[in-house]
């Protein structure tokens, strides 16, 4: 009785009314679906963040709990912004960030575009290319020190073979000039597939009828590439760049195992520098302020970026 009743109502009422009658309202469902995520993030990300802000205003040292705690106001922030070492660290990070993204986007997109030619066996080769990013960066970084060894490492052997040089005539992670590139090479090797996969997804999302229509209009493949492929893949590409950008801004595991920040401070990325302050020098308060500054930096850059991403999507 009730069922037929509802059915009859359903036939005559607009969709919104149906939703109100059957099951939970959309509004309730929306909140039930979103709440656990928000709660988890509040507990594990926001609460520590607030705690970090509090610590950043003190001289707290986590390894000397008996030391009297002093409020130092914004002193830590002032010291950081005047510290030339930290600016050096920022430059190192910028070099790493820019080059890894440029290389990964170029190589990753090219590969995706080539794979999308759908040659025979492209599935198999794609899977093989994807493998490096499956590996733990810490384990890989550790192994690359082995590959970069001038005498026993295969990287030096292969490069020397093609360059006709002596393998032990150069050292990737030991030289001030080459070390920043040694980390770019390994990160690119590892994470190009990430960009590639996302680009591939983008390329495959383009319906073929668009190309067919373009072909009927006698648009050249060059023109098709710039007017169809690039704009359609752009949102995907930008998402990939966003994630790689954020990940590499935080980069720690790979580089800490690979160079440990050395030689000297040549590859000391901000995260490594921060780790030294927080967990080796145990200047917890100072390190907290440092963390907040990093967070504000990346947050700012990312918000600008996401605005741009949304614009591209709207187009």
Partner 1 sequence: MSSYSITAPSSRQKWIAGTIVILYALITITPLVWIIATGFKSGPDSISYPPKVLFQPTLEGYVNLFTTRTRANAEDLAAMPPPETWYEQVVRDNGMVIAGPSRYGERFLNSVIIGFGSTFLSVFLGTLAAYAFSRFKIPLKDDLLFFILSTRMMPPIAVAIPIFLMFRTLGLSDTHLGMILLYTAVNISLAVWLLKGFIDEIPREYEEAALIDGYTRFQAFYKVVLPQAATGIASTAIFCLIFAWNEYAFAVLLTSGTAQTAPPFIPTIIGVGGKDWPAVAAGATLFLLPVMVFTILLRKHLLRGITFGAVRK
Partner 2 sequence: MKIKTLLSATALACSLSASNAYAEDLTLCWAAWDPANALVELSKDFESKSGHKMHFEFVPWPNFADRMLNELNSGGKLCDLMIGDSQWIGGAAESGHYVKLNDFFDANGIKMDDFVPATVIGYSEWPKNTPNYWALPAFGDVVGWTYRKDWFARPELQAEFKTKYGRELVAPATFAELKDIAAFFQNRTIDGKTVYGASIYTERGSEGITMGAMDVLYSFGFKYDNPKKPYEMAGFVNSPGAVAGLEFYKALYDCCTPPGSSNGYMGEGIDAFKSGQVALQMNFAFTWPGFEADPNVGGGKTGYLVNPAGPSGEKFAQLGGQGISVVSYSTKQDAALEYIKWFAQPDVQQKWWKAGGFSCLRSVVEAADFATSQPYAQTFLDSMAIVRDFWAEPSYATLLQDTQKRFHDYVVAGKGTAQEALDGLVEDWAKTFKDDGKV
- Give yes or no for a cis peptide into 193 (omega within 30° of 0): no
SS3 content of the chain, % helix, strand, coil (to 5): 75, 0, 25
Min dist. Cβ of residue 35 to partner 1 (A): 9
Q: Which is nearer to partner 1, 91 or 205 (CB)?
A: 205
Nearer to partner 1, 96 or 249 (CB): 249
Q: How far apart are CA 108 and CA 110, in angstroms?
A: 6
Q: Is 162 in the site for partner 1 (CB under 8 A)?
A: no
Residue 29 interacting entry, from partner 2, partner 1, none, C-beta within 5 to 8 Å by type: partner 1
What tokens appear for 236 in the block?
């995907």
Map residue 84 onto helix, strand or coil. Answer: helix
**65: contact with partner 1 by CB under 8 A:** no
Q: Is residue 97 part of the contact set for partner 1 (CB under 8 A)?
A: no
**DSSP structure class, residue 58:** B
Considering only 171, 257, 259, 267, the residue that binds partner 1 (CB under 8 A) is 257
- Minimum CB separation from partner 2 for residue 211, in Å? 51
* Residue 271, binding choice from partner 1, partner 2, none, Cβ under 5 to 8 Å by partner class: partner 1
3-state SS of 184-199 is: HHHHHHHHHHHHHHHH
- Beta-bridged to residue 71, according to DSSP, are 58
Q: Could you tell me how many residues of this chain bind partner 2 (CB under 8 A)?
A: 37
Site for partner 2 in 133-152 (CB under 8 A): 145, 148-152
Among 71, 303, 308, 312, binds partner 1 (CB under 8 A): 303
Q: Which of 9, 30, 41, 62 binds partner 2 (CB under 8 A)?
A: 62
Asked if 114 interacts with partner 1 (CB under 8 A), we say: yes
Q: Which two tokens stand for residue 102?
A: 């440029």
Q: Give the one residue of 9, 17, 46, 165 binding partner 1; rule: CB under 8 A.
A: 46
Q: Does 75 bind partner 2 (CB under 8 A)?
A: no
Binding residue (CB under 8 A) for partner 2 from 92, 97, 173, 240 = 173
Strand partners, 159: none
Q: Judged by CB under 8 A, which stretch of 70-78, 84-92, 120-128, 173-181 contacts partner 1? A: 120-128
Q: Does the protein bind partner 2 through residue 65 (CB under 8 A)?
A: yes
Task: Return the structure tokens found at 72.
Answer: 């130092």
Cα separation, 40 vs 47, whole angstroms? 10
Among 87, 221, 226, 312, binds partner 1 (CB under 8 A): 221
What are the start-end ranges of the H helices in 177-283?
179-204, 208-216, 221-224, 230-249, 253-258, 270-275
Among 264, 296, 300, 310, binds partner 2 (CB under 8 A): 264
DSSP state of 19: H
Distance between CA atoms of residues 94 and 250, nearest Å: 12
**Residue 261 touching partner 2 (CB under 8 A):** yes
E runs forming strands in the chain: none
- In the complex, the smallest distance separating the C-beta of residue 138 from partner 2, rounded to whole angstroms, is 11
Distances in whole angstroms, Cα of residue 200 to Cα of each of 95, 100, 205, 210, 275:
27, 19, 8, 17, 36
Which stretch in 16-24, 38-46, 95-103, 165-173 sits in contact with partner 2 by CB under 8 A?
165-173
């Amino acid at each position: 009785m009730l069922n037929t009743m509802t059915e009859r109502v359903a036939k005559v009422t607009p969709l919104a009314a149906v939703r109100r009658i059957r099951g939970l309202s959309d509004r309730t469902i929306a909140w039930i679906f979103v709440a656990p995520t928000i709660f988890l993030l509040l507990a594990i990300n926001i609460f520590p963040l607030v705690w970090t802000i509090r610590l950043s205003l003190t001289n707290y040292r986590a390894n000397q709990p008996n030391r009297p705690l002093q409020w130092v106001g914004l002193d830590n922030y002032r010291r950081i912004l005047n510290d030339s070492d930290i600016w050096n660290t920022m430059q190192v990070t910028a070099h790493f960030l820019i080059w890894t993204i440029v290389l990964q986007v170029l190589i990753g997109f090219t590969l995706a575009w080539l794979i999308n030619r759908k040659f025979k066996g492209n599935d198999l080769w794609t899977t093989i290319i994807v493998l490096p990013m499956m590996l733990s960066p810490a384990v890989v970084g550790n192994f690359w020190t082995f590959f970069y060894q001038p005498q026993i490492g295969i990287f030096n052997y292969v490069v020397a073979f093609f360059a006709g040089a002596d393998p032990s005539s150069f050292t990737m992670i030991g030289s001030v000039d080459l070390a920043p590139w040694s980390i770019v090479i390994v990160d690119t090797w590892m994470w190009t597939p990430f960009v590639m996969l996302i680009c591939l997804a983008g390329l495959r999302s383009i319906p073929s009828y668009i190309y067919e229509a373009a072909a009927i209009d006698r648009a050249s493949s060059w023109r098709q590439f710039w007017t169809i492929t690039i704009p359609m893949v752009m949102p995907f590409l930008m998402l990939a760049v966003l994630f790689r950008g954020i990940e590499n801004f935080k980069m720690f595991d790979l580089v800490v195992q690979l160079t440990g920040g050395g030689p000297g401070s040549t590859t000391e990325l901000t995260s490594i520098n921060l780790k030294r302050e927080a967990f080796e020098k145990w200047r917890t308060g100072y390190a907290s302020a440092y963390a907040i500054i990093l967070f504000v930096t990346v947050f700012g850059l990312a918000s600008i970026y996401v605005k741009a991403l949304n614009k591209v999507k709207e187009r």
